Amino acid sequence: MKRVVRASLIAPLTAPVLYYAMAIADALVDPLRRASLIQSFVNSFALVMVFGGPMSYAATVGIGLPLLWIVRRLAPLTLARTILVGFLAGVAMATFLSPWLRGEMVSIPLPLWQGGLLGGVSAGIWYWLAFG
């Protein structure tokens, strides 16, 4: 039980970190955004963690863990099933949040495939930390 709690506290943080890494890679490819990237490297990471951390924990506690509990009641919990649950939780969260992530001042692009990828990776990390 202690490992599951530890996994539930650590694994959700991988989603905003991975989102930030993908945003940095995207900015490095774009020559127009490359110069401003260096100036706001730490500030943008803090901003991603401030907004992405609570969203990731909400997805884990509100969608991921209840779905994992249901899956565990129906069949043994495997890495593939856990990643699938994380993928579904990520897509659900991206679908739910998409109307609120498009603003005039700040816009946070989170397509469905990216939400699913972030959720699947977080779920895989969760499984590794919990049962590893």
- Tell me the three state secondary structure of residue 75: coil
Residue 114 and residue 4 in contact, taking contact as beta carbons nearer than 8 Å: no
pLDDT at 80 over 90: yes
pTM score over 0.85? yes
Supply angle C-alpha 94, 100, 105, rounded to 5.
125
Q: Which amino acid is at 60?
A: T
26-75 pLDDT per residue, tens: 878 877 777 777 667 777 888 889 988 999 999 999 999 999 999 999 99
Average pLDDT, the chain: 88
pLDDT at 106 over 70: no
Indicate the pLDDT class of residue 24, thresholds 50, 70 and 90: confident
Residue 104 backbone phi and psi in degrees, to 5 = -80, -40
Beta carbons within 10 angstroms of residue 89's beta carbon: 28
